[in-house]
Copies of this chain bind each other. A is one copy, B any other.
Amino acid sequence: MKKPYFYIIGLGPTPKHVSYQAIEILSEKCDSVFYEEYTSIPSEGDLSYIEEMIKKKATKLNRRDLEDLSGEIIIRSLREGRNTCLVTWGDPLIATTHISIITRVVHEEFKYRYIPGINSVSVALAASGLMIYRIGKIATITYPREGVISEYPYLVLRENLSRNLHTIFLLDIDSEKNIYMNAREAIKILLDLEKRFGEGIFSSKSLVLVVNIANNIMICGGEANYVLENPPNNYPQILVVPAKLYFTEEEYLRELGLLNNRCIYI
């Protein structure tokens, strides 16, 4: 029996961002199609759009299937000789979960192919007009767990700013409970941490950018205060806290009005 392939396939942030390569593989190669929406959700549209394009139905997996049960359902499908595809929004290999599944698939001597998708983190950076050479560490701002706020985002911001690097914050998502952190909540957490540390690295006057990647990309820019008072209501959102701007970055943000409390679609 020919060894079947495991394809891990990224769709990008929304169905319109899907690549021709992804649709070709889904149409021609996949005997079984699984998908998950707990590591990332589309900001617009849903999987039915893709299912219609590829004329196949996909089976939804949840965190338990992929993490607690280590993707057993995928391995079983491969053992039955079926080319098996796992579809995710964004880019699949940004999540550690998927790296672990591939490790298992390869360990069991199945082959794998990676089909990349447009990745929201790089789009958020690009849409902000910030230079890729100036990104610092990326971090996620999470909801308090058992009443405890993680200090990690503050530490990352401090380190990045001390090196004059921009910070990209992913915001907490629990799509199974339908909970998505918005930039307002994230900013409140950073302000709370600022109160605790008192190092003066983030305030309600700090420049922030909030990016939502749908078919049209929305950016809000201005003082943290502006976002606190005018929270955008589309999801998921990415929060960017720029370091000191390089002149090309500043010109871009100024021309777009994003230094001065504004939301626009680009």
State which residues 113-140 of A face B: CB under 8 Å.
113-114, 116-119, 121-123, 126-127, 129, 131-140
Chain B residues positioned under 8 Å from A137 (CB to CB): 133-136, 165
Contact (Cβ within 8 A) A114 B266 = yes
Does A206 sit at the interface, judged by CB under 8 A?
no
Does A4 sit at the interface, judged by CB under 8 A?
no
Total residues of chain A contacting the partner, CB 8 A = 58
22 contacts between A and B (CB under 8 A): A16-B19, A16-B24, A17-B20, A20-B20, A99-B248, A99-B249, A102-B129, A102-B252, A103-B252, A106-B255, A107-B255, A113-B266, A114-B127, A114-B217, A116-B118, A116-B126, A116-B217, A118-B119, A132-B138, A135-B135, A135-B137, A135-B138
List residues of chain A with CB under 8 Å of any chain B CB.
Answer: 12, 15-21, 23-24, 91-94, 96, 99-100, 102-103, 106-107, 112-114, 116-119, 121-123, 126-127, 129, 131-140, 159, 163, 165, 213, 215-217, 248-249, 251-252, 255-256, 266
